[in-house]
Structure 1
């Protein structure tokens, strides 16, 4: 997911060098966990603009170090979507004037869907140097004489853009992913207006009061203030500011971010649903009343990736505790799943900015009675689209692979759908670390891994298979245990690993069939109910029953995947091709 930022120190007594530019770099560095292939910044001294770009992750290559007095700067960490990862395609994109000097620079998060049409219409007036759709935004802003409302009329799609004029004026359009604003003061007391994609980045540099730029708006920002207008009507909008807490100082853990966050996930599980914040507990009661309402006919759980696995868990939990119909849908299927009149949608997204979940909510909103969101970002676009927001409250999750957000979501779903459940699982006592290490060694040596589970235990099977693909780059497939012999067994080869998630020891015959054909089995169960190549014992859960065992199994398969990826030498915290949140 791309991250964008802008800082304006125009009119202030900024020291020569890098007040605004340094702030942009700091904002971007605190958003690198979202994923990126390249970094870039455009800096203006109020007269001329200079652009700095680099591929990879070295921020030193874009820092302003030549004594330039920076009035304003914009920057981006880009995750390539339109155009490959080359220096020409890296952002910012620049539109030149008649003297081949930078007139408008632009950074963008999202997609301009009519990019090809704009390119065809404007190629006689402007030279298109890249394959990047952000360049269309730069040229459109130039053509519109930096009138942001006119610029929006030329562009289609779901995007959020920040542009900078030759004189260092900052303009923005929020037609897609979130955009936050706040004031920053550096060590010299220089006040600067900041814009950024991420609230955590704002807090990380010391900004304690922020406002969310509303969707469907455009505006202009400077150190002296910010003006925001409705895209359709041009009516001035008033921002609502909120105080946010500063994050606690943290150091990068020696074992890696993802391992540390898995440890946090285990701690969250050990506290259980009783550890949910009071505000979340109150929101859960409100959401539960919506679900139980006689007017709600069906509950649709929706998500992508690990969030879809939690959607499946939600559907299982509700089906087991209520007569109300429930189903889970991947995001792209929401608009083809019927009218959904009087449905309640439970939309799950860690970031609250994933493009597919937002499109799903948009497509369902005309007929869906209510939208309940579960997200880790109460300031996100998803939260703003929801009737009730349940905050995960697990703290910023920086590893690309979801860990603690999965456990937090599972606990919220349990409390929401079955308020008698108060799961608490002490994972360090529940599963042997040495058995997980042995499982990881077996998995790392395999080329194909199958995760089998039945009923609610198909959820950890899906989660484990996804984590092995994400982190260890292994072909991994989740299957219903009873379906494995109806097709998948045909592709089983000698020494393939089959992980059977079977706390109750029901699949002895299946394990024998797999082992008879050369497969190697790893069994997750409470008792050593049948033969396997490795048994991972699940200790008894004192609270939560079956729900507690689901948490155990999720944590176990996540741990196996992370350990296997480390054995294989993979970059666990930043796997290739993946971003923390895909806003397109």
Structure 2
């Protein structure tokens, strides 16, 4: 993508996606420090919300934390199901881009009715009921989105949660300039027509990958942007039953494929079910990549 060609520049969605490298460069990890002491005084932390505000930001931060070996209990759950949990001794971080998400407001009201004193908010919108109800909040700096919600804001939310968990660990958040440069390179790179044709012609798009929010969020964006039905198949779930109802008019996009399972996916999904598989990976795979 670029803003020089009219086929891209006429879309606000493209312009906002291309803003994300600068959002990364200008992010300050210190913005989450004010929440650290009270979170540490609790027995754990839950990151909650609905849709894109939670899927990628929360799951990705938790996945990265688990790889680093930090052992404070940190969970994520949708705000409706989270209302059923015993959260009295936990810090709660709720996210809502609009500051008006019904399920999120309902959960905050439930917690405040029980005199919970560690309910924090993450939002892209100032002066909302959401901001008034929580004990403290952080408002994103990326500005409003004109095209699709949670396009650039989801990146800043992810940075915030990552910085929060690192600050809880006493660990510095580094490499933002390098990350911004890589993000810019990815966003402006070309994708082969072979891959775009496969996805364009598919009746259904599956995403497979780790439960770190990446594939799950992309599945949601397929619904919102290219208006195709999709599903996220965690890990190797695609090999455990659903392949029996897949057909040749479908495609599976595999994020960072597990090397040990590529042959199985090829045998059972490509040769067996007849679907196409496309990989998104830093390394070459046996599939179009």
- Say whether the fold is shared (TM-score over 0.5): yes
Give unpaired runs (5+ residues) of structure 2.
Answer: 1-7
Alignment RMSD: 2.3
1:513-528 mapped onto 2 (5 Å cutoff): 513-517=268-272, 518-528=274-284
Q: Closer, same or farther in 2 for the Cα pair 1:406/1:531, shift >3 Å?
A: same
1:167 counterpart residue number: none
1:429-440 mapped onto 2 (5 Å cutoff): 429-430=185-186, 433-435=189-191, 438-440=194-196
- Per residue, is there more strand in 1 or in 2? 1
Structure with greater contact order relative to length (CA < 8 Å, sep ≥ 6) = 2
Q: Closer, same or farther in 2 for the Cα pair 1:367/1:516, shift >3 Å?
A: farther
1:347 counterpart residue number: 94
Q: Closer, same or farther in 2 for the Cα pair 1:498/1:356, shift >3 Å?
A: same
Q: Closer, same or farther in 2 for the Cα pair 1:461/1:303, shift >3 Å?
A: same
Give unpaired runs (5+ residues) of structure 1.
Answer: 1-252, 536-584
1:370-519 mapped onto 2 (5 Å cutoff): 370-418=118-166, 419-422=171-174, 423=176, 424-426=179-181, 427-430=183-186, 433-435=189-191, 438-456=194-212, 459-502=213-256, 505-512=259-266, 513-517=268-272, 518-519=274-275
Deviation of 1:508 after TM superposition, in Å, equals: 1.4
Does the 8 A contact of 1:314 with 1:413 survive in 2?
yes
In 2, the alpha carbon distance for the partners of 1:319 and 1:308 equals: 17
Q: Closer, same or farther in 2 for the Cα pair 1:298/1:367, shift >3 Å?
A: farther
Does the 8 A contact of 1:345 with 1:368 survive in 2?
no
CA displacement, residues 142-163 of structure 1 (integer Å, 9 cap, x when unaligned) = xxxxxxxxxxxxxxxxxxxxxx
- Per residue, is there more helix in 1 or in 2? 2
The reply to whether residue 311 of structure 1 matches residue 68 of structure 2 is no
Does the 8 A contact of 2:58 with 2:161 survive in 1?
no
Q: Closer, same or farther in 2 for the Cα pair 1:382/1:506, shift >3 Å?
A: farther
In 2, the alpha carbon distance for the partners of 1:301 and 1:465 equals: 21
Q: Closer, same or farther in 2 for the Cα pair 1:331/1:263, shift >3 Å?
A: same
1:563 counterpart residue number: none
Number of residue equivalences: 269
Q: Which of 463-472 and 372-381 deviates more?
A: 372-381
CA displacement, residues 66-90 of structure 1 (integer Å, 9 cap, x when unaligned) = xxxxxxxxxxxxxxxxxxxxxxxxx
Q: Closer, same or farther in 2 for the Cα pair 1:276/1:397, shift >3 Å?
A: same
What is the TM-score with the length of structure 1 in the denominator? 0.43
Q: Closer, same or farther in 2 for the Cα pair 1:297/1:368, shift >3 Å?
A: farther
Q: Closer, same or farther in 2 for the Cα pair 1:506/1:425, shift >3 Å?
A: farther
Whichever of the two has the greater Rg, that structure is: 1
